[in-house]
Chain A
């Protein structure tokens, strides 16, 4: 029994290889439109399944609707290692049929490397309201579709606002209002290690907003659009409205602890934190307090107020098909993508607290039906209404430019180099190193 297993495996592997070779050689014979009959198995790449249930949720949902299809999950390491490990498999030709393009800035690399199948037909059938969909086009063709998209909003602690006697955000805030409120809160709370706001150390907490709200072009070569946002961030840390960048990096502060244990009354953060905060409040990791979400403060009054659409940023997480997929599986893989990025996938994701790319009424009622999620109208408005622009616009130079801007971020925020000088150097570096 035991001896025959490897032989059987070997034979079937050889058979599969022979069949696929025939398939690709005689592709013309089969013709388009002919779908695979009988059971089909497609594989899906994801990461850290224990902590990231979304892949299993999507696979289960799709298999339930299509009993003939089996979606096999292949686990990759989490964090940045996902891209590295997946890249190695793609280069070796052993990557799964469908994979997640986790970081938008690598999308172009994957596309230019010929690893992604053109799925413009799937994209054209999707709801145009799907967040981030438009931005995925490369020369008029789409190679990956967004299935989840978090947008950045402002979290605030209602208890601390009441304690400090500061008026809560009402959706009309510009960054000036935010800055003033942070100063008032810091004074009003009056505790030594509590601040009005917490700005996490990532470059996106400054640059993401600046890029989205100024409408500047990342590849434009001029980075002075970042200046007002950096000046404000520096002013706030010098005034003590936020912990300094130096303290946040050297003490490894986490935004979950700062906001969750009431060390900060306001926190600009992505919508993924809603589910985390609810879970941490339930488990006791975070304190129990009343909180809400508000639209992120705006550059000027033209986009403030609940009758306007606030501009914020957020990269979609997208899914594409491996260009090396067996031909007979292509249709099934496309159906899976349409499911994951469509309303059914969105509902399934919302049920586990994840923000899908397509936010409709079902998603809204599901998310706000979860225990512990704030019920006020402003929170609902902030969650559902926004123009979300990508932090990493699709472009060949994006990855290299973001690396340079990431270095500039630490330089400015640590107060090693004045804003204007650092931004001028950034422009030089981009010209010198990226071209």
Chain B
């Protein structure tokens, strides 16, 4: 086999050195009744030529979707990634190295992790960020568990229902057996978390209050509402962000009293890749850093220059086992690196300019919908949005999407798809724009709606 260097003769030589007669002798302590003599029921090995054909055929079945103008978002926004990023990611020193537990031979990865942490800290306005977690929903879980440790002996989590439904489902799954209660505060008529309802839900048992901005309807929430509601009762405030470009134009959670920021950083050039791998982030105030889960890179100034290493490792499972801050081990290394590279290229100016492109295109589309005049479509909520909004559809959402598809447009995500079976907001379509959308795509979108 091409991935096993030893030739049959060399394998025989190795067996002789080891002192056994056959390969099977190496497995002598395996009970004979489970040791398989026959090969597994798989096809014969494939050459690269066959692999390209076989898997290429599968990819081709999705290819049509990649040619459409895409307005899909709802927690995952496919922004541009500079060409050098995917090429440098293929460097073996990044691709095929392990977690940098040995700093002397991992300064490359460690420096990049530290840079990722710094970008996240700057964008969110927090003091400390970790090396990444799996993705946005598990980032929220980790934030909640972290808050639970920090507040000690409290039992309830208050979450706004304007957080992405898959995040909330994930939170319920993780918290199911930990004796913690989740209190969901419904959105007001305007699609935004109602400050009075939120404050009323918080009491002395509340661990934390979590809100998302822009929220699942794309609406901008005011972080300070959650911060004030939480702090009034000694609870912590958690801010969820899953469209990080919004932070180029919106006051960051750290500047509005949020204690822990978490969410999804895939916007920084990660391929959509059918939803993974993504890159979750977690950031907090300095005083909470000993309770942040996952890997943390630190920077030490030495006479020879800065040196980077993982630090505060005693928080982690490989040392503290069942008392660890989390069971997390693997993080999203390579994709945190991809986000870091993209952020480096974008820089301070590119971040803002990209965000302005996204915002302007979304506003153009919203304005166009307001002027359709056929009474069948409306922007569902009046509040400010960044690059995504909820479109209220008179005709069934499926029919709207089919019509858009005929015009080479993936028109958005039906809200019903985020929470299957819930029966909520079945007339809403979430429509997201990025810098990749052109004016002609927007006009075509509006033309299709006009046709209803």
- Do A and B pair up? The answer is no
